[in-house]
Amino acid sequence: MHIKELEEIIGKASKAVNDKADDAVKKANEAFSATDDLLKSYKASEGEQKELQKQLDELSTKIKQIGHLEPNDMKPLSWQQELAKAWVEKKEEIEMIVKSGGAQTGPLIFDLKAAVTISTLNTIDAVGSASHYSLTENTGIISTIRKRVMTYLANVSTGSMTKPYAMWIEELDEQGTPIFIAEGAVKTPVSVRYEERQAKAKKIAISTKITTEFMEDLPQLVAFIQNNMVRRADIAIENGLLTGDNVGENLRGIVSYAVAFTGGTLAGEITAATITNWDVILGLITQVKQANGIVNGIFITSGAYGLLLAEKDLDGRYILPPGVMFNAQGLLTAWGVPLIETNSTLGGNDFIGGDLSVINVRFRTGVRIQIGESGDDFVRNLKTIIVEQRLVQFVSANDLNVLVEGTFAAGITALSTT
């Protein structure tokens, strides 16, 4: 430590005294300690001795002020205040040490005579304690980073497969028309063509490294690291299932399968002055039913979900059509169709839904967690954790029209009579 650093410490103590701050004594003691350390470890030049002498004079003045911070003279002084007074008494000895270049003929002794009440403030909480472990209790709470609730896989068709490709067969090109015929007449021939389709499972894999010391010292956190990795992989998987572009190793999301909102027979049939977002939901249901689908779910972004529930009429009353209600589990349904809130962006759409049973997700492998060594892990006392999973998603070409995507703004335009 040099004189400049000591000046800064003394300056902070002076300000604390002037402000009558609660930590004034603490800061003054820091200045005492720093001065003592400098005297023991540093042989000052003549110029530095003069500067140090000046600083000590200023320090003495501030110490006297500290001694008068307590308005009640009859109240026992704290050990910090006793030390401040004792330091003033030793001023001449300190000055002789400074003038002699730091040489001492004997130790500086400070006699603290006053007894004080033993409390956490002047013991564990006081300056000098290395920590506050004695006053600290571990609650066992580990605060994890918040991540969105997964809603996708619980609402679509899922399964497993034992090979890397999923194959399905589609019906194509129906020929002939069934008709009623007379007795003995030739029966009408009909036919249909079948073709195979396939989709390849894609793999998501992530890794992290932790030290063996971490595993030994904080074993309770290893499971949290694994859970964090799995959850982050799950979010990436759900994003891929919803909005994946099928480029390279990316999944193909339902955004690329779904058709645009038209509203079916409701298109252009609702008066513009009375139309609401609820009409768009009804239009989606109508469109899917007319495509011979059974509507069993609509994913809606959280922002659009909130606006939907906040819909009001011109008098400020909430609009909740008779067919809209919450079930016992708190799930919102519209005309019997669950509206599933999600924090996904849905690829810029407000909603995607319809007959969710046509969405097929197949897992080649479930979530796999491995802990092992990679590269020079052994010599560096490291372990590598790997989380991976393989899966595929597909929708038959025959089922595309029962999945609908869109925005409420565009939907209102499509349904409006103007």
Among positive and negative, which fits the CA dihedral 282, 287, 290, 294? negative
Residues 87 and 218 in one domain: no
Residues 112 and 206 in one domain: no
Question: Does residue 187 sit within a domain?
Answer: no
User: What is the model's pLDDT at position 295?
Assistant: 97
Phi-psi region of 90 (alpha: psi -120 to 50; beta: other; left: phi over 0): alpha
In angstroms, rounded to a whole number, what is the distance separating the alpha carbons of residues 131 and 134? 8
Residues 355 and 223 in one domain: yes
What phi and psi, each to the nearest 5 degrees, are found at residue 94? -65, -40
Using a pLDDT cut of 90, give the percent of the chain over it. Answer: 58
In angstroms, rounded to a whole number, what is the distance separating the alpha carbons of residues 87 and 70? 18
Residues 291 and 366 in one domain: yes
Residues 361 and 307 in one domain: yes
Amino acid at 230: V
Residues 67 and 161 in one domain: no
Q: How far is CA 275 from CA 73, 80, 268, in A?
A: 81, 76, 11
Question: Does residue 294 sit within a domain?
Answer: yes
Residues 331 and 407 in one domain: yes
User: What is the model's pLDDT at position 105?
Assistant: 72
Dump pLDDT digits (tens) for 132-159: 788 888 888 889 899 989 999 999 999 9
280 sits in which H/E element: helix 277-290
Torsion of CA 335, 337, 340, 346, to 10 degrees: -100
Residues 250 and 388 in one domain: yes
Of residues 156 and 274, more confidently modeled:
156
Residues 213 and 322 in one domain: yes
User: What is the model's pLDDT at position 74?
Assistant: 41
Amino acid at 398: N
Buried b (16+ CB within 10 A) or exposed e, 245-260: eeeeeebbbbbebbbe
Of residues 222 and 7, more confidently modeled:
222
Q: How many domains are there within the chain? A: 2
Question: Does residue 184 sit within a domain?
Answer: no
User: What is the model's pLDDT at position 161?
Assistant: 95
Question: Does residue 146 sit within a domain?
Answer: no
Residues 76 and 160 in one domain: no
Give the range among 96-110, 187-201, 265-279 with minimum mean pLDDT: 96-110
Dump pLDDT digits (tens) for 180-197: 999 999 999 999 999 999
Do you know the residue count of the chain? 418
Q: What angle do CA 94, 99, 102 make, to 5 degrees?
A: 70
Give the count of beta carbons closer than 10 Å to the beta carbon of residue 108. 13
**pTM for this predicted structure:** 0.69
In angstroms, rounded to a whole number, what is the distance separating the alpha carbons of residues 345 and 302? 9
On the question of pLDDT at 239 being above 90, the answer is yes
User: What is the model's pLDDT at position 195?
Assistant: 96
Residue with tokens 């407000």: 350
Q: How confident is the model at residue 71 (pLDDT cuts 50, 70, 90)?
A: very low
Question: Does residue 253 sit within a domain?
Answer: yes
Question: Does residue 268 sit within a domain?
Answer: yes
User: What is the model's pLDDT at position 375?
Assistant: 94
On the question of pLDDT at 24 being above 50, the answer is yes
CATH number at residue 285: 3.30.2400.10
Residues 312 and 345 in one domain: yes
On the question of pLDDT at 387 being above 80, the answer is yes
What phi and psi, each to the nearest 5 degrees, are found at residue 257? -95, -40
Q: How confident is the model at residue 404 (pLDDT cuts 50, 70, 90)?
A: very high
Question: Does residue 194 sit within a domain?
Answer: no
Residues 291 and 411 in one domain: yes
| Host domain of residue 112 | 3-135
CA 267 to chain centroid, in Å, comes to 42
Question: Does residue 67 sit within a domain?
Answer: yes
